[in-house]
Structure 1
Amino acid sequence: MFTGIVEERGTITAKEELADAARLTVRGPTVTSDAAFGDSIAVNGVCLTVTALTGDGEFTVDVMAETLRRSSLAGLAAGATVNLERAMRADGRFGGHIVQGHVDGVGTIVAISPTENWTIIRIALPPSLRRYVVAKGSITLDGVSLTVSAVGDSEAGPWLEVSLIPTTLTHTNLGQARIGSQVNLEADVIAKYVERMTSGPATESEARS
């Protein structure tokens, strides 16, 4: 489990395309300082398992086809900047909100509005995620725990807005975001559990998913 508090911006140093997966090598001196084989590290909000450590601040992860389909990792190449966070320690501070590292979908940035002290970013939401997003609720964007400042619907579809302070822009890759950029979205798991408990027994397809 994670909290959405990014520890460092890492860099993808290599990407190997496999038959039904991809292998990423990522440089992240902070998150590898105490990492071991089998540990979990969130890469742009995707929980991945460390399969190798090089000893010079790099680690390797395998990304299966399902994860590539559901996230923006498929579109990343060597040189890309990614947000990194180690799994939360049981005795650590809960700085953000409950983040599983299980991406629900990909959103597209449709507007960026800088102000004097912060920047407002609007993201087009996949319609299937609209019901989980509420104003002042939590959302994870590329692994960053954020508060939804506004949510709405337009002719083009549902959208949400977040307000980013300078620290977030400086210490995460959201500061490099542009209109058209894609971001991994993870809705608040509490909303999903509430929906499940109030909607009756799970269907056969849900049980298999």
Structure 2
Amino acid sequence: MFTGIVQGVATVAAITDRPGLRSFTLGFPKGFCEGLEIGASVSCDGVCLTVTRLRGTDHADFDVMLQSLNLTTLGALTEGSPLNVERAARDGAEIGGHPLSGHIDFKASVASIRQPENNHVLRIAVPPQWMRYIFAKGYIAINGASLTVAEADRKACWFEVWLIPETLRMTTFADKGVGAELNIEIERSTQVFVDTVRDAIDERLGPLLPALEKLLAAQGQSVDDLARPPAQLPG
């Protein structure tokens, strides 16, 4: 498990391709590898990877399956690419963000960037089927960083996050331009709640569901709004 608090930026030092596998050698910030062991988990741009070899005091190897390369942004990495990294949380560790599994749900892309004074706003385009789990004021993990959704537009399929200077300093987000792909892990308890409510609605309403959807649409809402977790309902 990870906390979503990025601990530094690593760099791809080398890439080795083998049948069905790609190995990355990553160079880490000073002190990051202290106590790191083979078999340990590290979040690399939000993807949970296992240490397969230690190289000196600040480099380590990780093997990545082809499926993970295809489903995440790791397949596009080249030598010199930077990544957000976090060591696995220890028992009793403070959860500064929210609990993350390191299992990516989908890739999204940067649709636009705004830069109000001392802020950096990313608008992120999302595949439509995933918007049901994204709500304003809810948590989301982007490239391994726990962030709060500032705004979300379900019809246009985007959400926004606001990044402060410290977040930009500690992560790779300052280097992401329009069109850049991002790894997204949705907040798991939100997914469970939404899916449970939707299943209950489908089961109870059955053939009446299309009529309800039509009625809600006329009011600018959807069944997904009914499945919004209570903590994220407008006050």
**Aligned residue runs from structure 1 range 7-26, under 5 A:** 7-26=7-26
Runs of 4 or more, structure 1, over 3 Å off, are 195-198
Q: What is the aligned partner in structure 2 of residue 168 from structure 1? A: 167
CA contact (8 A) 2:45 2:143 kept: yes
Q: What is the aligned partner in structure 1 of residue 101 from structure 2? A: 100
Q: What is the aligned partner in structure 2 of residue 135 from structure 1? A: 136
Which has the higher relative contact order, 1 or 2, with Cα contacts under 8 A spaced 6 or more apart? 1
SS of aligned partner of 1:194: helix
Q: What is the aligned partner in structure 1 of residue 48 from structure 2? A: 47
SS of aligned partner of 1:26: strand
Q: What is the deviation of 1:56?
A: 2.8
Identity across aligned pairs (percent)?
35
Higher fraction of strand:
1
SS of aligned partner of 1:74: helix
> Equivalents in 2 of 1:91, 1:52: separation in Å?
27
Q: What is the aligned partner in structure 1 of residue 111 from structure 2? A: 110
SS of aligned partner of 1:145: strand
Tell me which amino acid in the other structure corresponds to 1:20: G
Q: What is the deviation of 1:128?
A: 2.3
> Equivalents in 1 of 2:90, 2:129: separation in Å?
32
Q: What is the deviation of 1:196?
A: 4.5
CA contact (8 A) 1:8 1:30 kept: no
CA contact (8 A) 2:139 2:147 kept: yes
> Equivalents in 1 of 2:195, 2:53: separation in Å?
37
> Equivalents in 2 of 1:131, 1:14: separation in Å?
39
CA contact (8 A) 1:22 1:64 kept: yes
**Aligned residue runs from structure 1 range 1-209, under 5 A:** 1-28=1-28, 29-153=30-154, 157-198=156-197, 199=199
- Which has the larger Rg? 2
> Equivalents in 1 of 2:119, 2:112: separation in Å?
14
Tell me which amino acid in the other structure corresponds to 2:178: I
Q: What is the deviation of 1:153?
A: 4.0
Q: Tell me, which stretches of 5 or more residues in structure 1 are unaligned? A: 201-209
TM-score scaled by structure 2? 0.81
Q: Tell me, which stretches of 5 or more residues in structure 2 are unaligned? A: 201-235
CA contact (8 A) 2:84 2:144 kept: yes
CA contact (8 A) 1:21 1:68 kept: no
Q: What is the aligned partner in structure 1 of residue 216 from structure 2? A: none
> Equivalents in 1 of 2:154, 2:191: separation in Å?
20
> Equivalents in 2 of 1:143, 1:30: separation in Å?
20
Tell me which amino acid in the other structure corresponds to 1:101: G
> Equivalents in 1 of 2:49, 2:129: separation in Å?
24
CA contact (8 A) 1:5 1:85 kept: yes
> Equivalents in 2 of 1:160, 1:117: separation in Å?
20
SS of aligned partner of 1:49: strand
